Structure 1
């Protein structure tokens, strides 16, 4: 039971480390893509709404950036705390909701070029999340679902045939991404647990070596019958006292010799 809890804590700690290690590239890519998408198709229709959306996602990315920098500045113990996990999860899933809202709010005024670009970008963001978020299976699974499923369902309900087809493709792509995210998370978990087993094995080996070394020392310095120090231990202690005396660490020492008649016969 304790070993299982240790594995869970290790998986959570290593998962947080992996998520935050990949956070900076993800934040930068999200900012670049969002900015390019908004200002490339910034026409008169929905202009204010798109600018508000862009400002909102930039604010969220700034908060996530500060949180990531705080994680990098924290010590090894603080990095393993659960509040970092919840903060990253919240920021990541809010980003996914904003991507989903882009198409839900503005797709009615999309041109064919903007519609195609938005679909490609959302699919790319969902696909990239499978590797970047592989440190946690739940986040890696929820991200593509939040990004793609709402818009895909909206397309399925549209009157145009090509939108229905794109909606079906979006749902199929989501299923593939969820499957890929699960496999990536399982692979990462296996790697983390293998690392844990290796560290446990190394600790046991070190403990075994220390135990064996102590046993060898006791065998070589202790009389097997009485358990008292033998000639080797005596000579070592005597030499150590002599050396300390020569180095003026002690003012002197005394040696008592007790002889027992017939000791060997006994």
Structure 2
């Protein structure tokens, strides 16, 4: 729906609503087959298989979303749909299982998530143009990120006219997702999957003509042996994400500005 209309709600069989990342209302019609029809009719067999596999990818997506929760306020669009789509080619790599029961083993190609941006208006690399240096070890469950010295107008282009910024890093663990008769879950059949993670951030930093390099270190409290006991051997991947948030003065204190900044998945292992 194009402007100048600014209406949301339901009109007859039409629903009008807004989504983050779009300035224009979205219009869709109601209707379609009932849930009972989809569950029971033979003509919807393919739909049931597709829905089942979508549910498996949704469990994988929920893990990533949980890991990125601490950076969620940086994102300027809904991440769930694009993340779910990224797992389609990974699910297609399972050529042994039937359609509708294919597993999502991210460990087979974790690099597909590298470079995934939380922002469309201000991707991280348009704010800090020099890529941070990093280390990531799946063996020791540790990661370090070194952000370069930032020079405004050279390798640092703040998103907006703000006085301060904060750098952050997240190290997370994502389990592979497998099909079981009761539904998708981890290797042990548990359907409740948590995205385990460690979040670190700098203090608020005042924007100056040149800053000092900043290093953030993320270490899991669990040992690798304890993690293997929980997740199973070779059934997990490590995710390293970075972000930058901006703050403005409010009553003498720096307050974070939501949906301004940038974040991305820097590396996978």
Larger radius of gyration: 1
The answer to which structure, 1 or 2, has the higher relative contact order (CA under 8 A, 6+ apart) is 2
Is TM-score (shorter-chain normalized) higher than 0.5? no
